[in-house]
Amino acid sequence: MKDPQSPNESFDIIVIGGGHAGCEAAITTAKLGFSTALFTINLDRIAWQPCNPAVGGPAKSQLVHEVDALGGIIGQLADETAIQKRILNASRGPAVWALRAQTDKREYSRRMIEILQNTDNLSLKEAMITELVIKEVETFTNNSKNTTKQIKGVKTFFGTYYSAKSIIITAGTFLEGRIWIGNKSMSAGRSGEQAAQGLTQSLHNLGIKTERLKTGTPARVDKKSIFFDELDIQPSTAADKYFSFDPKIKNNMPQVSCHITRTTLKTHELIRNNLHLTPIYGGFIDSKGPRYCPSIEDKIVKFADKNSHQIFLEPEGINTPEIYVQGFSTGLPENIQLELLRTLPGLNKCKMLRPAYAVEYEYIPATQLKSSLETIEIGNLFSAGQINGTTGYEEAAAQGLVAGINATRKLSMKDPIIFSRESSYIGTMINDLITRDLKEPYRVLTSRSEYRLTLRGDNADRRLTPLGFEIGLIDERRWLAHKKKMKSLKEENSRLENTRLKCTDEIAKKIELDSGSKIKGSTTLKELLKRPNLHYSDFIKYDLVDKTLPVAVIEGVEIDIKYEGYLKRQKNNIDQINRQSLKSLPTEINYDQIDTLSLEARENLNKIKPTNFGDASKIPGVSKADLTALLVWLKIKELKKEKTNSFVEKKLSS
């Protein structure tokens, strides 16, 4: 490939794509002092929410908390633009509690654009990137010469060349994107916006393969045409809860209610009669869609025994009439969509503002990436977000942050920050992406984490804010606020551990009477709080706690105490895994001989020859099951060796 002679402009880092991944990546690299350019096809649609303008939910809220704890943006913006907030899974344990916010779509985008425009070291540019420019670099390892590909810059559709030391691709659904309504389709990244052309072929030319996935979005209806009085109401119940740990973040948006309707037998009949007209069931496309956000057609087909499915009507903002019909994604023709919507209670006279559509697009299977999100094939080329096979704003934002951090560290000649499964949901997600050959859009779930009790949303700052400060994304003000919170947690834990109640105390008698829980002799407040029928709210009632303590401190202390035993066991498990990571691996191992390993693991382990389990765990295609199998194989081998040595010694002694 012939390099352009002179760049139009030069940057340290170029980010391709202005979605949630691209925004986090660009803000991160710029904040860390690197000259950054964010390229997007449409500057007016930055950080757009093309599907439901909602942030959080099960496992997704944990991701948002983690991004915020590290110094990212998504949590702050979700808090500031939320028009409804709810706690999901509140009746279950803290490991699965989840904050969900319905945001004002246009306000969210407006505020993100404002942040980007006012971030030092960051330039915004509207252009379609069609080509990656590389250079070949010679390196010497063990007296042998190797030639590697290194990123050099990008070219736009109109041929303008921009040089960069590092590139982060965050193209979302735009690579060769095509939207479908029935059997009709058009080239588009999403409705109303052109697809990204040319970049896919450039990736192929450089040895990076892409595959195709599908997602979709439901229709929007005019709220003035809905009979809300016929529907169940779902009010905002958690306006005082926040994703961000920054105490200065506030929400001044008016709070609104969502509503619930249901599909009917008529809905199901209409869908079954017209399945052949959808892109998937009609055979027009065969791309895999998200399992955990299925189309209404998929629900009717796969859950044929159900007579009704819950549908949520969620506003897209304060100053827009658009209502998002959550759970009603479809690829049916537009005329049938309207007929279908009118089978739902409360929507029998609704007006459809925007039709639902399916979108298929190219993505980069993440097995071609390192744990840092750098591509294996091309040095200093990173990718993040939906282009890596994920679905969701939260997954995208987390990847954008990681890619941004590691792009700067690579240029600074520092080791990458690798997030482990034991440390974060971010680590769980990235490990899943790079080790599994996914054939459908990936969504983070609490069930995907083996350590979900430890990796809660409420303690994300305890786990990750010190790292964010060390990296340089958490400023001094946030750091001082964090240290103050840590001090309060420690002091309150100590107070509960050292404050005793005697059974003869008046308060003790009240507690016994109200809770039916006997106090024998004396007990500490900590031991009392461990009891399942007593909570911090009771301590407040009995005046046993400082009422000025922040809610976050109270909640953190209560969870730590009530789940102390479980948390200790999980910590021991994590410590054991960390110790195993230091276990050495002989370089002479022939992994082809270990038939308990997956074929991909054998191939990649033989290629890289890691020196310890920690390095092996970071290799794409090497799963946790592979590591366990390898550990067992080594143990058996050690036992055989010991047995042989013992036999030889006995022979010699005799």
pLDDT tens-digit map of 600-648: 888 888 887 887 887 787 676 787 778 878 888 888 888 887 777 665 5
Q: Are 43 and 86 in contact (CB under 8 A)?
A: no
pLDDT for 2 equals 45
The alpha helices in 274-359, defined as continuous H runs, are: 296-302, 334-341
pLDDT in tens, 197-239: 999 999 999 999 999 999 889 999 999 999 999 999 999 999 9
Q: Which residue has the higher pLDDT, 540 or 465?
A: 465
User: pLDDT exceeding 90 applies to what percent of the chain?
Assistant: 66
pLDDT at 438: 81
Q: 402, 373 in Cβ contact below 8 A?
A: yes
Q: Residue 79 in contact with residue 251, Cβ under 8 Å?
A: yes
pTM, two decimals, is 0.88
Contact by Cβ (8 Å): 132, 381: yes
pLDDT of residue 654 exceeding 70, the answer is no
Residue 649 has pLDDT above 70, yes or no: no
For 424-455, what is each residue's pLDDT tens digit? 999 999 988 988 778 889 999 988 888 888 99
DSSP type of residue 289: -
pLDDT-derived band of residue 479, with 50, 70 and 90 as boundaries? very high
Q: Where are the beta strands (DSSP E) in 520-618?
A: 522-524
Six-digit token string for 473: 């994304």
Average pLDDT of the chain, as a whole number: 91
Nearest-10 crossing angle of helices 476-498, 460-471: 150
Q: Amino acid identity of 433?
A: L
How is 178-194 classified by DSSP, letter by letter? EEEETTEEEE-SBTTBP
Instruction: State mean pLDDT over 164-192.
Output: 94
- Is residue 116 within a helix (H) or strand (E), and if so which, with residue range? helix 105-117
